[in-house]
């Protein structure tokens, strides 16, 4: 698929930026063109597309998907919005950047090729062997693109980055967001309202810095940023896209400057959790001690065995502890599971 196919109405792939990206997964020459509605489109790299409308409101928005290559639902969701914008059916009133994070892994149908891309931001890509993997180089490049996008918008603009994912396993709460550590700043009621408009009512509030894309955008650029988990990972073609209608509509309203259809913020409308502790994998002799298909946010009785790491046993220590993101197949030293607990943040939110 060529750039002309992407740009020109006669092509059956007109506006299909996902197909264009997957046809050139490692790199592509930059290009610029203009839509009939006056929006300037800039192709910066494979999977990196910027829309600059002639008149903009106050937001610079980044929508990323495919940071994990096999998380097809959010990739399809973003691809459809992007195609409607390229075809002029959706007219942006905000600057918008679409990012497909890991196109080679998307082609391979894998979460990653070598490194977990979402553990490489805020400079973590520079740690490790001198020879960079695709993911390490991509993380460095994505940081540069995010920096350039926000800098070109100017510091007076509001900034947001929504990094869309699907989880490896099912969840007691189908959709949930991870709110990166804010270093003591209050949580945003406007952003909680946006999450609710996306049918996301469960939020994990992080209390430490992280190597994720959303923490990077939040901490390095002052963006309202979230990792948003939209459900369980499935192959292309096997997603029930009706599960994502609220998210799809809300993103389109954000892009076009329409107001969100959502009731005013109230803490009672959310299930909020904070990390109680993390269990890291420290030996190759690491195993999880519960059923492989356990759902995120499952609570087990106090004393239940969670994992065995060499000679160390991990058990549920407190009532209310719930399991999230268990994964024995992580690299040594990385997080194999989080244990979270409900949290009350009354008085710690702000209207912004």
Catalytic residue ranges: 229
- Of 86 and 228, nearer to Zn ion (C-beta) is 228
Using CA atoms, how far apart are residues 244 and 229, in angstroms rounded to an integer? 11
Q: 64 vs 219, which CB is nearer to Zn ion?
A: 64
Task: Please state the closest distance from residue 298 (CB atom) to Zn ion, in A.
Answer: 19
Residue 165 contacts Zn ion per CB under 5 A: yes
Q: Are the C-beta atoms of 298 and 323 separated by less than 8 Å?
A: yes
Q: Roughly how many angstroms between the first and final C-alpha of the chain, as a whole number?
A: 43
Q: Which residue stretch of 62-70, 95-103, 261-269, 323-331 sits at the interface with Zn ion (rule: CB under 5 A)?
A: 62-70
In this chain, which stretch among 7-15, 157-165, 177-185, 315-323 interacts with Zn ion, using CB under 5 A? 157-165
What are 128's two structure tokens? 């490790």
Cβ atoms within 10 A of the Cβ of 268, count?
Answer: 4
Q: Rounded CA gap, 99 and 110, in Å? A: 17
**Per-residue b/e over 279-294, b at no fewer than 16 CB within 10 Å?**
bebeeeebebeeeeee
Interaction between residue 119 and Zn ion (CB under 5 A): no
Cβ proximity to Zn ion, 71 vs 135, nearer residue = 71
Residue that the structure tokens 């290009």 belong to: 31
Which range binds Zn ion by CB under 5 A, 66-74, 138-146, 269-277, 323-331?
66-74
Q: Are 146 and 67 in contact (CB under 8 A)?
A: no
The candidate with the shortest Cα–Cα distance to 158, out of 222, 66, 89, 251, is 222
Residue 232, interface with Zn ion (CB under 5 A)? no
User: How many residues interact with Zn ion (rule CB under 5 A)?
Assistant: 3
Closest residue (Cβ) to Zn ion?
A: 165
| Residue of 68, 136, 221, 281 interacting with Zn ion (CB under 5 A) | 68
Q: Which residues bind Zn ion (CB under 5 A)?
A: 68, 71, 165
């Amino acid at each position: 698929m060529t750039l002309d196919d992407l740009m020109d109405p006669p092509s059956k792939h007109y506006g299909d930026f996902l197909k264009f990206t997957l046809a050139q997964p490692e790199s592509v020459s930059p290009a610029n063109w203009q839509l009939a509605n006056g929006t300037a489109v800039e192709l910066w790299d494979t999977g990196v597309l910027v829309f600059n409308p002639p008149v903009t409101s106050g937001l610079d928005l980044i929508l990323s998907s495919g940071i994990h290559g096999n998380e097809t639902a959010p990739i399809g969701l973003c691809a459809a919005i992007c195609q409607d914008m390229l075809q002029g059916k959706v007219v942006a009133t905000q600057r918008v950047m679409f990012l497909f994070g890991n196109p080679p892994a998307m082609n391979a149908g894998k979460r990653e090729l070598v490194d977990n891309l979402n553990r490489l931001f805020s400079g973590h890509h520079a740690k490790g062997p001198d020879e960079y993997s695709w993911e390490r180089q991509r993380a460095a490049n994505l940081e540069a693109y995010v920096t350039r996008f926000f800098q070109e918008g100017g510091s007076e603009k509001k900034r947001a980055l929504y990094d869309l994912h699907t989880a490896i396993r099912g969840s007691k709460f189908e959709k949930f967001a991870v709110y990166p550590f804010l270093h003591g700043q209050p949580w945003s009621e406007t952003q909680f309202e946006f999450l609710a408009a996306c049918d996301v009512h469960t939020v994990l509030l992080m209390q430490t810095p992280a190597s994720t894309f959303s923490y990077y955008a939040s901490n390095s650029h002052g963006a309202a940023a979230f990792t948003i988990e939209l459900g369980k990972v499935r192959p292309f073609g096997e997603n029930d896209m009706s599960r994502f209608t609220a998210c799809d509509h809300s993103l389109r309203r954000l892009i076009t400057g329409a107001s969100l259809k959502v009731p005013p913020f109230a803490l009672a409308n959310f299930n909020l959790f904070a990390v109680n502790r993390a269990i890291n994998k420290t030996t190759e002799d690491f195993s999880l001690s519960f059923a492989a298909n356990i759902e995120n946010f499952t609570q087990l009785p106090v004393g239940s065995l969670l994992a065995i790491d060499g000679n160390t046993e991990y058990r549920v220590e407190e009532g209310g502890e719930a399991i999230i993101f268990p994964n024995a197949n992580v690299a040594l030293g990385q997080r194999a599971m989080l244990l979270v607990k409900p949290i009350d943040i009354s008085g710690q939110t702000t209207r912004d």
